[in-house]
Structure 1
Amino acid sequence: MQRVIDAPQAPTADTLQNMYNQPSYAKPAQPMDRGLTLDDVVAKTATLLGVALIVGVLTAYFNLQMLAIPGALVGFGIALFVIFKRSTNPALITAYSVAEGAFLGAVTSVFNAHFPGIAYQAVLGTAGVFIGMLIVYKTGVIRVTPKFTKVVVGAMIGLVILMLANLVASFFIDGGLGLRDGGTLAIIFSVVAIIIAALSFMLDFEAIDQAIKAGAPAKTAWYFSFGLMVTLVWLYLEILRLLGYLRSE
C-alpha cells in the first residue's frame, strides 16, 4: 500500500504578522540601581569641592570681585530648587558649585586684599571644623537624637531670622542691629553661627548614614554631597568674617 506523506501546513496571515511584529532582539533586563555607599558620597563631595576650589581660585586670582553678587544669586536660586525638588541632577548640582566657587572667590579676594593670608586661615579653619565634627560623629561623643535635631534646626531657623532682621534694619539704621558691624556683638554672633554650622554637619552625617542603611539609590549621593557643600560654604563664610573682625581690632 502506498504511503501518504502529509504536506506541512502553510502559516496563516495572522501568524506571519505576529512574527513580523516581534522585535529583532530581546531587550536586556534593566539592572537595578545599586545602593548608596559612603564612597559614593565622598567621591561626589570631592568633585564638587574641586570644582568650587578651581573656580574660586581663578576668580580670586583674576580679582573678579564683580562676580560676588551674580554668583550668590545664582547659587541661592539653584540651592532652593535642589532643596525643594530634592534633585539629584549632577549637572545642576555641579552648576551650584561653580556659582558658589565664583561667589567665594570674589568675597575672598576682597577680604584677602585687606587682610593678606586670611583665605588660608579660613580654609584651614573650615577643614579643621569639618574633620573635628566627623570624628565627634564617628566616636559617638554627640548622638543625633530627635531632640538634638529639633534643637539644631530651631537654632538654624532662628539664626536666619536674625540675619534677615539685621539686613532689613540696615536699610534704616546704620549698622543694622549690630550683628555684622565688627563689634563685640558681631563677634559673638559669628561664633554662635560657626557653632550651629558645625553642629549641622552632624545632621548631614546622620542623614547619609541612615540613607546607606536604608539602601537608597547610589544617585542620591549627589544630593547628600550638595548638602555638605551648603554647610561648608556657610561655615567658610562665617569663619572668614570672624577672622576679619578679629584682625580689624
Structure 2
Amino acid sequence: MSLFGLSTSNPAFTTYFWNTSRKKRKLGKMTLRGVVLKSMFCLLLVSLTAGVSWKLFYDGVEVKWITTGGLIVALICSILISVKREWVMPLTIIYALAKGLFIGGFSAYIHKIFPDLPFQAVIITLVTFMIMLLLYVTKIIKVTQKFRSVVITVTTAIFVIYIVSFILSFFGIVISFLWSSSWFAITFNVVVAIFASLSLLLDFDYIDRYIGKANKTYEWFATWELLVTIIWLYVEVLRLLKKLAIRF
C-alpha cells in the first residue's frame, strides 16, 4: 500500500523520479560517494546561510521576513523539483541556501531565550542520524512494505497539518497544540520527531536500492531528500527542547 502513489515518505524517492530512460543511463550511474559529497556540499551551504541569518539577528536586524521568505522559497523549490526533474541540481542548491536562512533565524531566536539549545539540537540530530544508519545497516529495523506504508501515512498527515497551520498563521489563526508547551503539544512533538527519524530509514533504503542503477543526476534527488529529512528532524528536535525548557 502507498499513499498518493508514493513508496516512501519523501517525494524524491518515488517511482516517478527513479524511472530513467536508457539514454539517460549513459550519463553514468548513481554512486554512494556522489550522494555523500553532494550532501556534504549542500549542508555546508545550509550552514553558511544559517550563519548569515544568525548574525543579522544578533546585529539587531529584523529577520522575520528573511526566515519566512527562506521557508517559502524552500517550499517552492520542493514543488518545482517534483515537476521539473531536469532542474534538480540548481533547485537543490537554492533549497539549501533558502532553508539555511530559515534555520539560522529560527535557531537564533530560540538561542536568545534558551542559550545553547540549538547546539544541543544539532548534536541530537547527528546522533539520531548515526543511530538510524546503524539500525538500517545492521537490519535491526527492516524496511518492509508495511513499515513504509505506516511512515508514509503519518508523515503525510503531519505535513498537511503543518502546511494548513502555516497558511492559517497569515490570518492570525494559531493551532495551539503545535506551538504551546502543554503535555499534549510535547507528546505530539515527540511523535513527529520519531517519524522524522524513521523517515531516514526509508531514505537509506531507497538510496541503497538505486546505487549503481539510476543515472548520476539522481544523486541530486537523493541529496535533496536527505536535506529535507535532516532539516525536518533538526527543527522538530529544537522545538521539542524548547517546549521542555519552558515546561521545566
For normalisation by structure 1, the TM-score amounts to 0.81
Paired residues of 1:111 and 1:118 also in contact (CA < 8 A)? yes
Paired residues of 2:125 and 2:237 also in contact (CA < 8 A)? yes
Say which SS state the counterpart of residue 94 (structure 1) adopts: helix
Say which SS state the counterpart of residue 136 (structure 1) adopts: helix
Structure 1 unmatched ranges of 5 or more: 1-30
The superposition leaves residues 200-228 of structure 1 with CA deviations (integer Å, 9 ceiling, x where unpaired) of 11111111111115x11112101101000
Say which SS state the counterpart of residue 206 (structure 1) adopts: helix
Identity %: 31
1:175 to 1:185, Cα distance in 2 relative to 1, 3 A: farther
| 1:142 Cα deviation from its structure 2 partner | 0.9
Task: Give the alignment of 1:154-233 within 5 angstroms.
Answer: 154-164=153-163, 176-213=175-212, 215-233=213-231
| 1:196 Cα deviation from its structure 2 partner | 0.5
- Give the Cα separation in 2 of the matches to 1:168 and 1:45: 30
Query: What is aligned with 2:35?
Result: 41
Paired residues of 2:26 and 2:215 also in contact (CA < 8 A)? no
| 1:115 Cα deviation from its structure 2 partner | 0.7
Aligned residues: 218
Paired residues of 1:79 and 1:96 also in contact (CA < 8 A)? yes
Say which SS state the counterpart of residue 218 (structure 1) adopts: coil
1:219 to 1:164, Cα distance in 2 relative to 1, 3 A: closer
1:92 to 1:166, Cα distance in 2 relative to 1, 3 A: closer
Say which SS state the counterpart of residue 177 (structure 2) adopts: coil
Worse-superposed segment, 230-239 or 161-170 = 161-170
Higher relative contact order (CA 8 A, sep 6+): 2
| 1:175 Cα deviation from its structure 2 partner | 5.2
- Give the Cα separation in 2 of the matches to 1:114 and 1:87: 43
Say which SS state the counterpart of residue 81 (structure 2) adopts: helix
Paired residues of 2:71 and 2:99 also in contact (CA < 8 A)? yes
| 1:58 Cα deviation from its structure 2 partner | 2.0
Query: What is aligned with 2:91?
Result: 92
- Give the Cα separation in 2 of the matches to 1:174 and 1:90: 36
Task: Give the alignment of 1:125-136 within 5 angstroms.
Answer: 125-136=124-135
Structure 2 unmatched ranges of 5 or more: 1-24
- Give the Cα separation in 2 of the matches to 1:183 and 1:172: 23
- Give the Cα separation in 2 of the matches to 1:172 and 1:59: 26
| 1:158 Cα deviation from its structure 2 partner | 2.0
Query: What is aligned with 2:122?
Result: 123
| 1:86 Cα deviation from its structure 2 partner | 3.6
1:164 to 1:227, Cα distance in 2 relative to 1, 3 A: closer
For normalisation by structure 2, the TM-score amounts to 0.81
| 1:166 Cα deviation from its structure 2 partner | 5.2
| 1:165 Cα deviation from its structure 2 partner | 5.6
Say which SS state the counterpart of residue 179 (structure 1) adopts: helix
| 1:164 Cα deviation from its structure 2 partner | 4.8
Say which SS state the counterpart of residue 143 (structure 1) adopts: coil
| 1:160 Cα deviation from its structure 2 partner | 2.5
